[in-house]
Amino acid sequence: MSAHEQQYAGLIDVLQTVPAKNSVSNTNSRDVIGNKTDDEDGDSLYGKMYILTNHVHGVQKVYPTLAAGITVTAAAGAWALSAAFVVVVPTNGITAPFDIHAIHIGDYTANQTYELVLYAGPNASEVEVGRIRFTRLSNTNPGSVVQMMTPIIAANTQIKCKIASSSGGAASTFSIIYHTY
């Protein structure tokens, strides 16, 4: 084999090398395209497609499931968040990476506008992951689903919430609608 043929053969070997799962290399196009095992932790085109596919076709779940929703009460003052966090999903409650797509509002105690804030993380390290507003106009106002989008949240992460209301002191019961990766 000539020197030129050897050099060409070496180049073919390099081009046929598959990057490691979720590789962060950005040396050539195969790094950007990715590996078929890339998942939500990858930043390749394949990893991003994995995320999109799961968003579009993932099984929708609710938390809590087959149980009463989470009740949270606003602070007494108008637009003041409740002082204490309320646990929505306990640590290890959802055992795969997940994101929240909507909130089901099941009940209210007053005709007010509410603002619900969700946080992720261990005690004393909570980080806001989403916020929604909803309004109850009358006692006959049924529950509703409000769209929400959070970042992907790591498996086994605790989710907490706080709520505020336009006149203060009102409570709401809700559930999260999410899917896993």
Task: Annotate 144-171 with DSSP letters as a single string.
Answer: EEEE-----B-TT--EEEEEEESSS--E
State the Cα–Cα distance between residues 110 and 172, nearest whole angstrom: 9
User: For the residues 5-17, what does the mean pLDDT come to?
Assistant: 60
Question: For the chain, what are the domain ranges?
Answer: 3-57, 61-180
Whole-model pTM: value is 0.78
User: With contact defined as beta carbons under 8 Å apart, do 120 and 94 qualify?
Assistant: no
Q: What is the pLDDT of residues 22-54, one digit of tens each?
A: 777 777 777 777 877 877 777 787 788 888 787
Res 78 pLDDT > 90 = yes
Q: Which burial class, exposed, middle or buried, applies to 69 when counting CB atoms under 10 A from its CB (0-12, 13-18, 19+)?
A: buried
Pick the CATH number of 61-180 from 2.10.260, 2.30.40, 3.40.50, 2.60.120: 2.60.120
State the Cα–Cα distance between residues 86 and 122, nearest whole angstrom: 13
Q: What is the pLDDT of residues 128-172, one digit of tens each?
A: 999 999 998 887 766 789 999 999 999 999 999 999 999 999 999
Structure tokens, 49: 């497609």
Query: What is the pLDDT confidence band of residue 19, given thresholds at 50, 70 and 90?
Result: confident
Can you give the pLDDT at residue 40? Answer: 79
User: For the residues 118-135, what does the mean pLDDT come to?
Assistant: 97
Structure tokens, 100: 């929240």
Average pLDDT, the chain: 87
pLDDT cut 90: percent of the chain above it? 60
